[in-house]
Amino acid sequence: RYGSDRLAGAINSAIANAFADGTLDALIAKWFG
């Protein structure tokens, strides 16, 4: 349970970082643009 919470936090941080530097926007544009 604690491990899954930590994993969720790490995933959320990775997603936030990807949004912050534009990586996720670029991927979305590539996939759906």
Give the model's pLDDT for residue 13: 94
Single pTM value for the model: 0.56
From the CB of residue 24, how many other CB atoms can be counted at a distance below 10 Å?
Answer: 15
In this model, does residue 33 exceed pLDDT 90? no
Of the candidates 12, 15, 11, 10, which has an alpha carbon nearest to the alpha carbon of residue 28? Answer: 15
* CB contact at 8 A, 19 and 25: yes
Give the model's pLDDT for residue 1: 63
Tell me the per-residue pLDDT of 7-31, one tens digit each, with 9 for 90 and over: 999 999 998 988 889 888 898 899 9
In this model, does residue 3 exceed pLDDT 70? yes
